Each structure stands twice: as structure tokens, then as C-alpha cells.
Amino acid sequence: MVFEYAPAPESAAIVDVRPSYGLFVGGEFTDGHGEPFKSVNPADETVLAEIARADEGDVDRAVAAARTAFERVWGPMPGAERAKYLYRIARIVQERSRELAVLESIDNGKPIRESRDVDVPLVAAHFFYYAGWADKLGHAGFGPDPRPLGVAGQIIPWNFPLLMLAWKIAPALACGNTVVLKPAETTPLTALLFADICRQADLPPGVVNIVTGAGDTGRALAEHPGVDKVAFTGSTDVGRQIARSAAGTAKRLTLELGGKAANIVFEDAALDQAVEGVVNGIFFNQGHVCCAGSRLLVQESVAEELLERLKTRMATLRVGDPLDKNTDVGAINSAAQLARIRELADAGEAEGAERWSPPCELPPQGFWFAPTVFTGVAQSHRIAREEIFGPVLSMLTFRTPEEAVTKANNTPYGLSAGIWTEKGSRILWTAQRLRAGVVWANTFNKFDPASPFGGYKESGFGREGGRHGLEGYLDA
Amino acid sequence: MPVADFGDAGVVSTETLNGVAELRAFLRGLPGVDEVGASERAARLATRSIKTSAKAEAIDLAISMVDLTTLEGADTAGKVRALCAKAAHPDPADASVPRVAAVCVYPDMVDVAVRALDGTGIGVASVATAFPSGRAPLAAKLADTRAAVEAGAAEIDMVIDRGAFLSGDLGKVFDEIAAVKDACGAAHLKVILETGELATLDNVRRASWLAMRAGADFIKTSTGKVAPAATLPVTLVMLEAVRDHRAATGRQVGVKPAGGIRTTKDAVKYLVLVNETAGPDWLSPEWFRLGASSVLNDLLMQRRKLATGAYPGPDYFTLD
């Protein structure tokens, strides 16, 4: 029999989306002076809200508010006191988790299963984790009494809007900095709900400021002379611009940029779990993951068998309504991103790789792309070199472990990698030779606030998470 | 040339007394199972949300897959007859409720059950081979099996010799299963792996293949007498095994989790696991069973809740 799952939508009624949003500066929502823009639900292209655009003057106001809060309140406050606010924020995130998850799925297009089970719990975990550090900074290995930097300008991407906010704000606040954060243009809503959570937690005004806008707003923030620290997560191109603008200034900089991770499956891997890991590595969050396992390297002796299992598994992926609790793959975040994915996938075909997607019906409205795997991919193909940032997997094969490592490292990026084998010594041998900031063994896309995350080469520098994540926000 | 028939493994030469060695090499050569990954996969599938029409379908399917079981020393003929009546008409107040798949009893109760179920189309399954421990000479196990078949059992649930399996005496386990299969005649053979005693998922996969190659028609998780009984990760691995076995040999083998399945939610989780692991071909009582008894009343309660919108109290359903 055919077991059809009836629609099981999470109710959107739990979240109250306002028709328009201002900037969050000095503890108040204020008007922006740029031309407002709209945030769209990528699953059906409806407009969710009108969002204020911060111009240079607005950014200036926000930085000034952060400076005042840093000098008068947050910087002098004992760590144990700062921790109380962070714990409070973490608890409120947990209490309002359904609201946050639904809003994240509506604004971003990611399945509710992921926003509910991954994004929001990790957000709370990050605040809890860094709350614990706030009064123990002297024991973090950066000197007996490390000082905060001051005002941090933070620019985050659209793929994990709230989670990237947490990765940025939690360590900055724990260390005693104040922040001006710019969420991505297409996904500002959860950051603005977070502003409300800051007020609910009675966080002193100006400690967290949120300015919405596009690239211009980001540039104004990154280049603002009153910013002591710039933290950016996003594309390598923009990262380069920011690095250029910060060069020659006293600003500290951490960059978390693109990736083209290799997921290496050896012949002795636990194949069923490797297939799960490959699927999770590339189709998690529609492949909008900087550390996505977008290059599958399979030992040729098991390549055929693995591909067959992979295709069978891909055929069970449920693509559709992000709010349906049974959806595995949601909507592509924006029309622009969809066009980019299409262009690269077409280039893959044109360059001679073989393209396969399971039969799957895509909704008529919104931005959608079927899970896709390319076989017969060469290292020289664009789909093996460029970050696609979509649900597109390129499969290559290797014969020896040396070849696997050589191919895995043959990329300008170096953010993450995966190793699948039942042999412990092979995990260690391979991990030592991979030039990637994070190496997962027999798992993929596993995140924990205690674990540092960051890249090699063009994937950026600096680490977020764990004790290492404190360094970027301390005068160490 | 001396040969031994290894079921689906084919006819293997024993000229150099290699049969068992080849079997062992085959089982050891199976891909490993990563426990963390398998548990994560099972847990993720358990978050599927089965509502409204899908839930109604799933409940009826689950009822039709139940092997309604009583395996107590205190079983009486009267209790078995009552169970049989319930098997045929799980909800006397509602004729649209499907009947269950089978009634599962000890061998000495088979004839009682056969008479009680006459004309209902429900088969009688009997545990055999010194259930639940399996600690008896092979001759006694075969006699146990034959007695159950002669009394009219259509299905035999045997237990494997876990001691032999764990000590590496795979040939003994294989030979016993093959001998019991032979003694079953036309009756279907379900092989109970007792996964709670096999300890690792690697062992579950190996034991599954061993049983299938020796001729099992079904592989079953547990006796219900050992904790843990059926779990989702164990069933996931067994479903992968039957899927791979059919792909390799063309022969389809059924799966039966047993023990610990108490609620409609539990049952639906197993159906989702089947649907997304082995596939829809296994979604029928012919290929998937739920070894349980208390789950039936919960399925009936949820069924009536869906139909009427209100929960009936437990007293509206018979205890056995």
C-alpha cells in the first residue's frame, strides 16, 4: 500500500508578524532613513513585512548607542551580572521557541523540523554556554583579566538568521562588548523578534542594536570608525571587501566565509549511515550551509553501490511547505539564490556531468529546487569548485586515501570536511591531512556551542564557538 | 563433490570444509552499522507527524498487522479463546475494524486457538524451539516445532541460539534454523533474534542475514521476555537487511518487531520506519507484523477518537 502522509502544518498563528518594522537602536524601535524594503516568504512569494533601511546616519546612531552602553553600563558590569542577562535571554528563547521557529521558517524557507529541532535549540544553547563563560574569562587562557574590545559590528547571512545572530551576539556580550548587528536583507524578522526578547529580558538599552538593510548598510557598519571589531559571516567576495576596508585600521576582524566541503566515503564505511550523512550534509537547510558537504568523494570500489543507495534515499526526501512538520527540504531563500543555483547546475550539465533528481513535484509559487546529484564530475568542473549554496551534490570518486586527501584539499576553501570509515586509524590519518577547520568523522553538520567553528584559506579566519570563540571579542 | 545448501547463499562446496568459514566471512564482510547514525535516523523518522486521514489509515493498517499474543505460564484455554474472539472482532461495537493478522500462543494452546479461529481466516502462530531461552537439545526443539505444526500452527516463531551466535559458532545457528525450517513444512518460519541479547547493531545485521540465508520467512526482534525488546534503531537495521536481501537475492523476507510496542504513537512510528526504509512493499500484514497485545486497545481508542472526536474510556474496550 502507499502510505501518504496527510499535511501536518505547524500553525503560523502563534507568531504575530507586524506590517512594518523599524530599527532597534538604544533599546527602542526607531525609523530608518533609507528606502524601506520588503521581506518575502520564499515559499509563496507573499510579502511578510516592510522593513526599515538604515542609512549611514542610522548606523552612526546605533554605533553611538552601543558606545554609550559599553562605556556606562555593559563594559563596567561584573561578568556574573552580565551572565544573568544572557541566561535570561536563553530561557526566553526556549519559552518562545515555537514562535521563533515558525517565524524563521516563514522568513527563510527552511523546514519547521529544522528550525524547531536544530536552529532554535542551538540558539538557546549558545546563550546558555556563553553565559557560563561571562564570569570565568580570567580562566579562558587569555590572561588573568582580559578586557572587552568595545563595540562590535556584526553582519550575518540569511541561511541561519537567528543561529548566526546567537553565534555573534552571545560571545560578544559575554566578554563585555556591545553590538550593532545587521541581519541579512532577506531574513531580518527573527533578529527583530530577538530585539523584543532583549527588551523582555530588560537588557540595558544600547547593548544590542539591530540595523536592517542591504549591502550599503553593511558597508556603513563595517567601515564605521566607531566600531572596534567587525565579525562577518557570508560570501568570500564580501569578506574580501571587508578585509580591505579594515586593513590599516585598529579594527579586529573575524571572517567566516564560503566552503566547498569534501565528504569522503571510504569503502569500509557503514554505508547506510554514510548515505544518511551525505544526505544530511548537502540537503540540510536546502544546502544553504557554508560547511555543506557539497563534494562527495567516494572510494571507487563502493561508488556504484553508494550512488544507488543515495538515489533511493533521495527519492524519499519530502520537498515542500516549510511549515509542514514532515517536510525535509524547504524553499530556496530568494529568487536571486535560485537563479544562481540554476546557473551552476546548468553549467554542470554543459560541462558534461550527469544530472539526476528524484521525481518530485515542486509547488507552483515560491522558489524551489529539487535535490540534485551530479555524477561523472571532474575536479575542473565549476560544480566541483564553486560554492553552489543549494541542494546540489557533486560526486567524484577516488582510488587511494592519498588521492582522496589531495582532491579534498584541492580547493581555495577550507571550512569543513567529513570522513566515513569504520576504521579509527584511517579517521586520524585523514583528518591530520585535511586542510579544513572542522572535520567530522562518521557524522556531518553537527554543531555544539562548546565546539569551535571556522575556516582555513578562503573560508576565513577566527573561530566561533567554544573557548576559542571568546578570543575574537577579547583584547587578548 | 560434497556440498551444503546454504539457502540463498547458494550451494557451497564443503570439499575443504569451508562452508562455515565462507558464511562467517560473508557475515563479517557486511558493511558495519554506526550506532550513533542509526539511532539518529530512527529518532528523526520518529518525529514524522501522522495526522487526520493518514492517521486513520495507519491505525487500520497497524491493527491488521498485530500478532495478538499471550505467552504466559498462567495462560488458560479460556484466555486463549477470549483472545481469539478479540482477534476476529477487535471492537465488537464496530464491524469496520479490521481483524488482526494472527494469534500467537505457546504450542500446547495451538489446538485451542485453531478451533476458536476456525473460519475467521486468522492464522495461529506458535512459539517453539524452547521459547524463550532456546536452551534445549535440537531434537527437543524440532519435536516442539513439529507438535505445533501438527496441531495446526500456520506460523512458527523460533528463537536462535544466542549463546552459539555470540561465541562465534555461526554454523550451529545456521543449521538449527535450517532444520527448524525443514520441520515447519508449509508453516511460515519467523526467526527471533532476541536483539536485546545481541548487544550491538552490527550483530543485529549479521544475525538478520544469517537467519534469512538459513531460510527465515520473517525476522523478529524479540521474545518480549528480555529487555530491551523491540527498539526503533534495531528495527531500522533489520528493515535495511531485508531490503538489501531482496535486492541481492530477489527473495522478500518479513520483519516483526515484538515487545514494548504499547501505544498508537509507537505503532505509527514503526509504520513510518517501514515506509521510508524497506519501502511500501513491506506495508502489509504479509510482510510486517507487530508483536504486541496491549497496543490493540490503544489503537481502538485512537480509532474511535478520530471517528467521533471524543476519547472513550478504557472500560469500553475488552481486556482480552
Supply the ipTM of this predicted assembly.
0.94
With contact defined as beta carbons under 8 Å apart, do A322 and A288 qualify? no
- Helix, strand, or coil (residue A439): strand
d(CA A242, CA A229): 12
Domains of chain A: 12-257+456-471 (3.40.605.10), 262-441 (3.40.309.10)
Is pLDDT above 80 for B1? no
Cβ of A276 within 8 Å of Cβ of B40? The answer is yes
Q: How open is the CA angle A135-A138-A139, to the nearest 5 degrees?
A: 95
The count of other CB atoms within 10 Å of the CB of residue A271 is 23
How confident is the model at residue B319, as a pLDDT?
81
Cis before A7 (ω within 30): no
**Pairing mode, if any, of strands B102-105 and B123-127?**
parallel
Q: Which member of B36, B48, B283 has the closest CB to residue A326? A: B48
pLDDT in tens, B269-312: 999 999 999 999 999 999 999 999 999 999 999 999 999 999 98
Smallest Cα–Cα separation from A26: which of A81, A54, A67, A55? A67
Which residues on chain A are in Cβ contact (under 8 Å) with B271? 3
Which residues on chain A are in Cβ contact (under 8 Å) with B47? 113, 117, 325
What's the maximum distance between 2 C-alpha atoms anywhere in chain A?
68
Tell me if B137 is assigned to some domain: yes
Cβ of A1 within 8 Å of Cβ of B51? The answer is no
Region B51-67 average pLDDT? 97
3-state helix, strand, coil in chain B (%, to 5): 50, 10, 35
Which residues on chain B are in Cβ contact (under 8 Å) with A267? none
With contact defined as beta carbons under 8 Å apart, do B218 and B190 qualify? yes
Q: Counting runs of H as helices and runs of E as strands, what totals does chain A give?
A: 16, 18
B34, B205, B265, B272: which to substitute to probe chain A, counting the most A Cβ within 10 Å?
B34
Helix (H) or strand (E) holding A232: strand A229-233
d(CA B127, CA B148): 8
Cβ of A272 within 8 Å of Cβ of B33? The answer is yes
Cβ of B38 within 8 Å of Cβ of A1? The answer is no
A5, A268, A313, A323: which to substitute to probe chain B, counting the most B Cβ within 10 Å?
A5
d(CA B34, CA B37): 5
Name the domain count of chain B: 1
How confident is the model at residue A87, as a pLDDT?
98
Mention every residue, 6+ apart, whose C-beta is less than 8 A from residue B152.
Answer: B110, B111, B114, B124
Smallest Cα–Cα separation from A329: which of A295, A357, A291? A357
User: What amino acid occupies position A423?
Assistant: K
How confident is the model at residue B89, as a pLDDT?
95
d(CA B62, CA B82): 21
Tell me if B27 is assigned to some domain: no
- Helix, strand, or coil (residue B156): strand
pLDDT in tens, A55-94: 999 999 999 999 999 999 999 999 999 999 999 999 999 9
Residue B44 sits in which domain range? 33-316
Ranges of chain A with pLDDT below 50: none
Q: Which member of A6, A271, A443 has the closest CB to residue B54? A: A6
Smallest Cα–Cα separation from B270: which of B300, B299, B290? B290
H-assigned helices in chain B? 19-28, 35-45, 52-65, 77-88, 110-116, 138-150, 162-167, 170-184, 195-198, 201-213, 232-249, 264-277, 294-308
Tell me if B262 is assigned to some domain: yes
Which residues on chain A are in Cβ contact (under 8 Å) with B37? 270, 272-273, 276-277, 442-443
C-alpha cell at A75: 563594559
Residue B45 sits in a domain of what CATH number?
A: 3.20.20.70
Which residues on chain A are in Cβ contact (under 8 Å) with B52? 6
With an 8 Å Cβ cutoff, the interface of chain B facing chain A consists of 31-34, 36-38, 40-41, 47-55, 57-58, 61, 240, 271-272, 275-276, 280, 283-284
Cβ of B49 within 8 Å of Cβ of A325? The answer is yes
Tell me if B176 is assigned to some domain: yes
pLDDT in tens, B110-133: 999 999 999 999 999 999 999 999
Q: pLDDT band for position B8 (50/70/90)?
A: low
- Helix, strand, or coil (residue A249): coil
Half-sphere exposure for A251 (CA within 13 Å, toward CB): 27
| Closest-CA residue of chain B to A302 | B31
How confident is the model at residue A353, as a pLDDT?
98
Smallest Cα–Cα separation from A285: which of A318, A329, A342? A329
Smallest Cα–Cα separation from B279: which of A179, A19, A316? A316
**Pairing mode, if any, of strands B3-5 and B11-13?**
antiparallel
How confident is the model at residue B16, as a pLDDT?
41
Give the bridge partners for A260, in sequence order: none
How confident is the model at residue A431, as a pLDDT?
98
With an 8 Å Cβ cutoff, the interface of chain A facing chain B consists of 1-8, 113, 117, 268-273, 276-277, 316, 325-326, 422, 442-443
Cβ of A4 within 8 Å of Cβ of B54? The answer is yes
Identified catalytic residue from B220, B266, B269, B298: B220
Q: pLDDT band for position B9 (50/70/90)?
A: low
Tell me if B177 is assigned to some domain: yes
Distance from CA of B41 to the nearest CA of A (A): 7
d(CA A366, CA A46): 9
Tell me if B2 is assigned to some domain: no
Worst-scoring range by mean pLDDT, A178-182, A299-303, B6-10, B168-172?
B6-10
How confident is the model at residue A155, as a pLDDT?
98
Mention every residue, 6+ apart, whose C-beta is less than 8 A from residue A6.
Answer: B50, B51, B52, B53, B54, B55
Mention every residue, 6+ apart, whose C-beta is less than 8 A from residue A8.
Answer: A324, A325, A326, B49, B50, B51
Cβ of B33 within 8 Å of Cβ of A113? The answer is no
Q: Which member of A6, A117, A270 has the closest CB to residue B37? A: A270
Q: Which member of B41, B49, B58 has the closest CB to residue A326? A: B49
How confident is the model at residue A1, as a pLDDT?
75
The count of other CB atoms within 10 Å of the CB of residue B258 is 23
Tell me if B113 is assigned to some domain: yes
Long-range contacts of A132-135 (CB under 8 A, 24+ apart): A132/A83, A133/A171, A133/A174, A133/A175, A133/A467, A133/A470, A134/A79, A134/A80, A134/A82, A134/A83, A134/A86, A134/A173, A134/A174, A134/A175, A135/A78, A135/A79, A135/A80, A135/A82, A135/A83
Mention every residue, 6+ apart, whose C-beta is less than 8 A from residue A176.
Answer: A70, A74, A75, A77, A79, A82, A147, A148
User: What amino acid occupies position A403?
Assistant: E
Please count the residue pairs, one from chain A and one from chain B, whose beta carbons lie less than 8 angstroms apart: 72
Identified catalytic residue from B157, B161, B202, B298: B157
How confident is the model at residue A290, as a pLDDT?
96
Smallest Cα–Cα separation from A231: which of A467, A453, A387, A457? A453
| Closest-CA residue of chain B to A306 | B31
Catalytic, B256? Answer yes
Query: CA end-to-end span of chain B, whole Å?
Result: 56
Region B236-242 average pLDDT? 98
- Helix, strand, or coil (residue A410): coil
Q: pLDDT band for position B10 (50/70/90)?
A: low
Q: Which member of A3, A5, A273 has the closest CB to residue B38? A: A273
How confident is the model at residue B2, as a pLDDT?
43
**Which residues of A form the catalytic set?**
256
Tell me if B24 is assigned to some domain: no
